Amino acid sequence: MTFPVGLSRIKGYAFSGCTSLAKLTFQSATPPTIGGAAFNGVATTGTIYYPAGYASDWLGVSGLPGGWTLASLITLEVTYNDGATMADAIQDALPAAGVGKEQVTGIKITGNATAVTGDNWKALYDLYKNDSGWTNLSALYLSGMTELTTIGDISSYSTNVPKLVEVKLPDSLTTIGAAAFVGCANLELDELPDSLTIIGDFAFSGCAGIRLAALPDGVESIGDSAFTGCTNLALTALPDRVESIGSSAFSGCTGIKLTALPDGVESIRDSAFSGCTGIRLTALPDGVESIGDAAFYGCTGITEMTFPEKLTSIGDIAFSGCTSLDKLTFQSATAPTIGISIFGGVATTGNIYYRAGYAPNWLGVSGLPGGWTHVLTYRLTVENGTDTTKASFYPEGGQAVIEADAAPGGKAFDKWETLGGGSFLNAASASTTFTMPAADTTVRATYRTTTPAPGPANASINPDKATFDRYPSGKNHRDIPVTLSPGSHTLNGIGCGNVTLQAGRDYTVSGSRYTFSKTYLATLGKGT
């Protein structure tokens, strides 16, 4: 019997008479209180495993027969360096610690190794199977391996590895390779290292207990079946750098709630999101060229889907079983090739919007129910402005809200003009509504040149008038200081009639202070 962390009390006679009971494991760091004769009549010999700190007097009152052996539980420390063999490193660590494998609850690995892969990773992985003999093992600590970059990459694995519950990964880790944690159904994991870039095939397949709310921003590649069956995975977005999403990567991940995919994704592979009932995608990235078989099979949360212009193919039953899907928009001028029943089992009524030139027979084999309405759409291109409705394609009579870009310098918005029909609610308004014609069309915002208004007369001269003496004999002459404040204007020069005064000779300047020389003033014919 294994007693969980948090157990605080075992009442009297709780296990009395359990004659075959020969092994007890206590996981909590604090021993529970034990009632009288709790273990009377159990097997005459056995082993009790307990963490360090259990008082010896507690063990004496547990009611266990005298033939029982006491064994403390430990975390086994293993040193693993590049060039070593993991199996040997583990076997060497046991006698060094003076314990048997039944006493080990966790393995802590240190060393300078940069990778634990292939058979070396499998030597660790296999310890967490039920039949490994490591009966109390539940944790793996790799955070002390500061140079470790890669784990996993095993070719043979089990789908039932229930003993691994806790794992600590180092900040240096960049790659979680193939099948690293496949089948670890009880693994509890809520974050991955920020350094991570690659999640390999089957890396977490069948790990129903992981509750990741986000993947590290640096992740670029997610392998085939990487998270298949991870029903508690709680992602709301994928990292912007993701370019590759493998087949069945998120198949059966009912807890993810994606509303968009990264812009760099170019293909949605077979069954990539099949059974993901929580996703709410409404459009695929502009670069997507192909959608694989059953890619979104059974995604009942999808209500509409816009397909990009580059799309060339949609695989068999790609959207089959998407029971809420009632709106489809195709942007490409050429219909993609399609597989069998791509829209089987969608809503019984809905609208499909597509470009002129899609052959009627293509529409007939798409798997859409008979209650759907087929609507031709046309491209709207906006020059010098933005389509704020962001649909890009509209049926005849459809309406788009358009807004002109800010006017360039020296210009102001003039009006909207159309190069291919349609009408404006108000062509003279920078923000208006445009109604589509039955054709592709371009609308353009135009601008007119504006004449700048004259600047304000905000220059000042103080004083604006001054009297001076001009005795021929030169006595009593004085300089006249004047403060000039040009404001928004620029001072180009100072003149008197047709004569331009010379700075330094006729006047001096200090900041905004201009001092007119008495020598110059004496030459003037006026006294002010």
> Using one digit for the tens of pLDDT, what is the confidence trace for 109-121?
999 999 999 999 9
Distance CA(306)–CA(354), nearest Å, equals: 10
- pLDDT tens column, 459-489: 788 888 887 766 655 556 778 888 888 777 7
**Angle at CA 363, nearest 5°, toward 359 and 365?**
115
Angle at CA of residue 27, ends 22 and 32, nearest 5°: 85
- Please give the pLDDT value at position 26: 87
Q: Mean pLDDT lowest for which of 15-29, 110-124, 445-459?
A: 445-459
Query: CA–CA separation, 273 vs 182, rounded Å?
Result: 18
Question: What's the whole-number mean pLDDT along residues 377-398?
Answer: 93
Inform me whether the pLDDT recorded for 138 exceeds 70. Answer: yes
Q: Is the pLDDT of residue 86 over 70?
A: yes
pLDDT tops 80 at residue 254:
yes
User: What gap in Å lies between CA 153 and CA 150, rounded to an integer?
Assistant: 9
Task: Kindly indicate the confidence band of residue 457, based on its pLDDT and cuts at 50, 70 and 90.
Answer: low
In-domain check, residue 465: yes
The residue-averaged pLDDT of 55-60 equals 65
Summarised one tens digit per residue, pLDDT across range 515-528 is 888 878 777 765 55
Range from 146-150, 225-229, 330-334 carrying the lowest mean pLDDT: 330-334
Question: Could you report the per-residue pLDDT of 397-436, keeping only the tens digit for each?
Answer: 999 999 999 999 889 999 999 999 999 999 999 999 999 9
Instruction: Please check whether residues 438 and 466 belong to one and the same domain.
Output: no
Domain boundary among 449, 481, 505: 449
pLDDT computed for residue 460 by the predictor: 81
Q: Given the structure tokens 């905004």, which residue do they identify?
A: 512
Provide the β-strand partners of residue 374: 352
- In a domain, residue 350? The reply is no
- Identify whether residues 445 and 464 lie together within a single domain: no
Percentage of the chain modeled with pLDDT above 90: 66
Residue 453, pLDDT score: 59
441 within a domain of the structure (yes/no): yes
Distance CA 169, CA 191 (A): 9
- Residue 294 inside a domain? The answer is no
Cβ atoms of residues 475 and 434 within 8 Å? no
Give yes or no for residue 456 having a pLDDT over 60.
Answer: no
pLDDT above 90 (res 277): yes
Do residues 17 and 56 both lie within one domain? Answer: yes
pLDDT digits (tens, 9 = 90+) for 210-221: 999 999 999 999
pLDDT at position 232: 97
Strands (E), 145-297: 150-152, 166-168, 175-176, 198-199, 221-222, 244-245, 267-268, 290-291
Q: Read off the pLDDT of residues 437-446 as tens digits, 9 standing for 90 and up.
A: 999 999 999 9
Tell me: do 28 and 54 sit in the same domain. yes
Residue that finishes a domain, picked among 449, 471, 487: 449
Q: Is residue 384 in some structural domain?
A: yes
- Residue 222 lies inside a defined structural domain of this protein: no
> Could you tell me which residues come within 8 angstroms of residue 34 by beta carbon, excluding any fewer than 6 positions away?
10, 58, 61, 62, 63
* pLDDT attached to residue 455: 54
- Sign for the pseudo-dihedral over CA of 360, 362, 368, 373: negative
Q: Mean pLDDT across the chain, nearest whole number?
A: 90
| Residue 500 located in a structural domain | yes
Residue 454: other Cβ atoms inside 10 A: 6
DSSP character at residue 254: T
Residue 149 has a pLDDT of 98
Which residue among 41, 67, 93 closes a domain?
67
Verify that 469 and 416 share a domain, yes or no.
no
* pLDDT tier at 362, thresholds 50, 70, 90: low
Residue-level pLDDT at 464: 82
Residue 496: give the domain boundaries.
Answer: 460-522
**Over the stretch 295-328, which tens digit does the pLDDT of each residue have?**
999 999 999 999 999 999 999 999 999 999 999 9
Rounded distance, CA 194 to CA 219, Å? 9
Q: Do 429 and 482 belong to one domain? A: no
Same-domain status, 486 and 441: no
- Residue 450's contacts (CB-CB under 8 Å, 6 or more residues apart) are 410, 411, 412
Examine residue 439 and state whether it is found in any structural domain, yes or no.
yes
Q: How many domains are there within the chain?
A: 3
6 with 57, same domain: the answer is yes
